[in-house]
Structure 1
Amino acid sequence: MKIVFMGTPDFARAALEKIIEAGHEVVLCVTQPDKPKGRSGELQISDVKACALEHNIPVFQPVRIKLPENVAELKKYNADIYVVAAFGQILSQEILDIPKFGCVNIHASILPEYRGAAPIQQAILDGKKTTGVTIMQMAAGMDTGDILLQREIPIDRDETGGGLFDKLSVLGGELIVEALPKIEKGEIIPVPQDEEKATKCGKLSKDMGLLDFTKDAESLRNLVRGLNPWPSAYTYLGNKMLKIWKAETLDVLDKDKDREPGTVTAIYKDSFDVLTGDRLLRILEVQLEGKKRMTAKDFLLGYHLNVGDKLGR
């Protein structure tokens, strides 16, 4: 099929590469405009643009895809279908109606659960045991279209947001390549989403990572996992930010009720324990402000931490 591919980050690139490998004709890649990065302000291209340039595919980078002149540009390519993956802009009904087979989206959850911007991380934050990818026929609403194909995978207990992101990007590429010929042959019966089961998730933000030690230990562990590598979970040790990169829960209740959540209760050679709202949280990997990421063992060799010290502000 002749395809217009719309996407921006590495999650989308994995799908684009699979589509190219499968022999489909990608006539255009639509991605977000180049953005300045770092102190130098040097413009950085998206992962999808980089892939498109490697394969000599035309690139289109509209600031607002809905503008009439941009819609007119899309129509020039006479594509059979538009494939969308983490593009970053909402498509108008006018655009959805352009291609013969409409527009399909690669969404990293088992819809109707986790409609929205950060379904991968949210599944971990909520302590889910499984997640997956949905190929969806796009509609005007946010992730509300009919389901075409779905595949579920388990979430490992120690899985991080970054690790799950990588697994689902590969799965998304495999699933869209499986779906495209079936869509062309009319072999897929679209299934409407059950609105009563729909849930939403918003964008990630840095302030989400602040650890509140009055919460239960498992929720804190999930926050550490889900926000790894970005925006990361963090607390404060004195006046310095302390990022927590890896932690584990302990089935140990604190016997001293006078100690506040966030208090360091024990220090070992390679870890230290912190009191939470219900149990102890064992800290295994950290990064103190101004320092590199390291194991708790290396951190304890260079920082004098005491039982009774309190994390947080």
Structure 2
Amino acid sequence: MKTKLLIALCFFCYTAKAQTDSLLATMENSETKTEPVTATFKSSHLILSQTTAMVKKYNLDFQVGHRFGDIGGVDGGSKTFWGFDNSSDIYIGFEYGITDRLNIGFGRSKYEQLLDLQLKYAALRQTTDDKIPLSMSLIAKTGFTPYEVTTDVFDNYADRFSYFVEVLLARKFSPRFSLQLSPNVLFRNVTLSPDDEKTLFSLGGAFRYKFTKRFGVVVDYNHVFSQYRKNNPNTNYYDPLGIGIEIETGGHVFTMNFVNAPAIVENNFIPNSTSSWLDGEFRFGFTISRMFTFHRTKTNPSNYEKR
């Protein structure tokens, strides 16, 4: 299954690149100058989802994410200062621009001590004349759990790996409003329950609405297609949902949010979200993105694509 996923991703990337090159050649020969749409999103991460925003060549994006404990519910309330005494996940990650279209990323999570390595490729970029109506990026990620989790479930070394593949489809409809859909698949070599699917398909959706140049609201949702979860309601799995505000302060992008998913990385929050908004089992969290530029030129003075 893993081999098939990797072969399919490689074929998809090759096909997308060929189509992109063909479209670019056509646009270069056109009398009307075609410009790519910029700042569909301000950061490569929203709340749950990654976005089609890319880190430019020679730039490094340093990311810190934090999720506190439940505000309400059994584990929330005043005894935990509404979740601020606890932290369900802390994430530290780096994303580097190999080229303007190809990024490599690495991160570490508190949740299950997950280490992740990913590649991200911008296959299409929306243009101002709508010759290309949307942006498309491809993500391939490998997750590795180096230590024990809740139970001793790893019979061999390979059981510690999981694999995630995602297609990001985004469109900037106006200077204020951007929308994204992100079909994805997660494959795990082992599951905590023998009845749980090792392969999980899900569909993410997110949007951003800007009130001012530097301030906006973001909403992020992911629906998991799982017969195990559908047929066993007592397992108490819930779709991750996040609501927050996004603030840009020069080189930083700061997001404050409320979300029911305890984990930050897709390999963890897609299969393991067991908190319910209706029961008060949502938590406060934030994400900070700081860009560092290692090669500044007159033609490329900015960090992310121009906002």
**TM-score (norm: length of structure 1):** 0.26
Give the structure with the higher percent strand: 2
Higher relative contact order (CA 8 A, sep 6+): 2
**TM-score (norm: length of structure 2):** 0.26
Give the structure with the higher percent helix: 1
